Amino acid sequence: MLKKLLIATAAFGMAAMPAFAHITLERGETPVGSSYKAVFRVGHGCAGKATVKVRVQIPDGVIAVKPQPKPGWTLAKVKGEYGKSYDYYGTPTSEGVKELSWSGNLPDDEYDEFVARVYLTGDLKPGTMLYFPVVQECTDGAAERWIEIPEAGKNADDYETPAPGVKLLPKQ
């Protein structure tokens, strides 16, 4: 019975994959105007191929990004202008990390987490979802692009390759 079910699920491919298998954020909701520990969970590679790079795009309104180093993985930070100045605990802040990546190797049959501490500015709207587009690069040039941003009223389950998101709560 279980075996039959597994085969049926495999036939549907990505569309039928449970959300926990995608790239998702560990903590599903968090208040604006505070720090957030973003834990990106990588549940699988690209159609069986090992993951060699995880690239995360930092959305507007998210500043003071500090990725956590990972043994065996090479970190890269792309810095740039935010386009406006934010107040970060009294310090005007107008530039910082806009994209970060970890390069290494994660076999398809293993699981790992990639962590960054960020600050969610008061510009972000409570009650909405905040999405971090992620590109997952794999061996042989394969890739999965987790960049679909669900429209209002829809959620990640309605998409094949949704960007990982977190629900924003009012400032505490």
Residues that bind Cu ion (CB under 5 A): 17, 21-22
Shortest CB 17 distance to Cu ion, Å: 4
Name the token pair of 33. Answer: 């105007």
Judged by beta carbon, residue 67 or residue 164, the one nearer Cu ion is: 164
132 near 163, Cβ under 8 Å?
yes
Shortest CB 107 distance to Cu ion, Å: 15
Shortest CB 33 distance to Cu ion, Å: 32
Judged by beta carbon, residue 13 or residue 69, the one nearer Cu ion is: 13
Judged by beta carbon, residue 22 or residue 98, the one nearer Cu ion is: 22
SS3 104: strand
Shortest CB 18 distance to Cu ion, Å: 8
Judged by beta carbon, residue 41 or residue 77, the one nearer Cu ion is: 41
Number of residues assigned to the chain: 172
Cα-based torsion angle of the residue sequence 116, 68, 142, 151 in order, rounded to the nearest 10 degrees: 0
- At 10, which helix (H) or strand (E)? helix 2-12
| 139 contacts: CB under 8 Å, gap ≥ 6 | 49, 50, 52
| 129 contacts: CB under 8 Å, gap ≥ 6 | 150, 165, 166, 167, 168
Judged by beta carbon, residue 102 or residue 159, the one nearer Cu ion is: 159
Shortest CB 16 distance to Cu ion, Å: 10
What's at 88, amino acid-wise? Answer: Y
Block residue for tokens 């998101």: 165
